[in-house]
Amino acid sequence: MGERQDDRGAADGRRRCVQPGATASGAPARGDRTGLEELLAVVLRAPGTGPAGGSEGEQRAVAAFRAARDAGAHSARTRRRDDWRQQGQRRARRSLRATLTVAVASLALGGVAVAAIGTVGSSTDDGSGAHPTTRPSAPPAASGGHSTADPAAPASTRALPAGPAATAEETAARCLAYEKAGGRSGEAMATTAWQRLVAAAGGEDQVTAYCAHVTATASPPDGTTRGNTTPGTARATARPDGAGGSPGAAASNGTQGQGQDGGQGNGRTEGQTEGQTDGQSNGAKTGGGKGS
């Protein structure tokens, strides 16, 4: 403190001959603090950056930079004191992203709601009394045949969305594992994969025959696998499971139903998809009602 005062006194004394008042009559004559800041910025930044001194220091700094870069020091980990990203900017960016997400979601749900309005309108034409919104576009033949099983099937299908997506390759892989296990039902039978396999085959006692079909035709992965293996056994025994509420049975049934050309299978598939769409659109409608 006293040291600095000495500095100032010495400097002032030394330079007193050159009109200290010149500063006051110069740049800060605008008369506000900004003028003073501008003057200080110009005055204190300018000196010492002459070509000679600046370039020497610059060369030294660049040499150090080169050495550090070549030594691999620039891949060092960022410490907390090296992180000068602005917190406010990060927060603002995140909130912007959240806003956009909400906007996109509301647009998507709004679209579903509009589609649902059209669906409900068309369902009045059918006029099927029991489930007007659940199966509006299902063919009459399908609605007649499975009026009792249908309410359970869409619910269970939604509860296990991964089921219908099981591909022939996955089934073949499960079968391979089953055969390696010696065809016995041990602890492995408790796993979800086994339960899916059993469901796909239509029963534990059907697994061996089912897998024999699958592995025999596993190499062409699409189309032929389903077509060859599904008729008969799978469908016949899976139906009761679906009615009984077993999720795996209903799920695999839906998948295989697509491969068949029977009217019942198609009817079920459409009924399920319509039921899902309506379920979402109902939610969207209630959500939209709250929002507006």
Nearest-angstrom CA–CA distance, 161 and 194 = 17
Nearest-angstrom CA–CA distance, 127 and 132 = 7
Q: Could you say whether residue 17 binds other proteins (CB under 8 A)?
A: no
Q: Could you say whether residue 91 binds other proteins (CB under 8 A)?
A: no
Shortest distance, position 98 Cβ to other proteins, whole Å: 23
Backbone angles phi, psi at 43, to 5 degrees: -70, -40
Of 14 and 184, which has the nearer Cβ to other proteins? Answer: 14
Q: Which stretch binds other proteins (CB under 8 A): 64-72, 207-215, 232-240, 273-281?
A: 64-72
Nearest-angstrom CA–CA distance, 283 and 158 = 15
Q: Among residues 197, 198, 151, which one has the least CA distance to residue 174?
A: 197
Q: What letters, b where the CB count within 10 A reaches 16 and e where it falls short, cover 139-156?
A: eeebbeebeebbebbbeb
Q: Could you say whether residue 93 binds other proteins (CB under 8 A)?
A: no
- Binding test (CB under 8 A) with other proteins, winner from 44, 127, 184, 291: 44
Of 24 and 107, which has the nearer Cβ to other proteins? Answer: 24
Q: Could you say whether residue 184 binds other proteins (CB under 8 A)?
A: no
Binding-site residue total for other proteins (CB under 8 A)? 69
Q: Could you say whether residue 188 binds other proteins (CB under 8 A)?
A: no
Residue type, 196: R
Is 269 within 8 Å of 257 (Cβ atoms)? yes
Q: Could you say whether residue 223 binds other proteins (CB under 8 A)?
A: no
Residues in region 132-171 near other proteins by CB under 8 A: none
Positions touching other proteins (CB under 8 A) are 1, 3-8, 10-12, 14-15, 18-24, 26-29, 31-33, 35-51, 53-54, 57-58, 60-62, 64-69, 73-79, 81-86
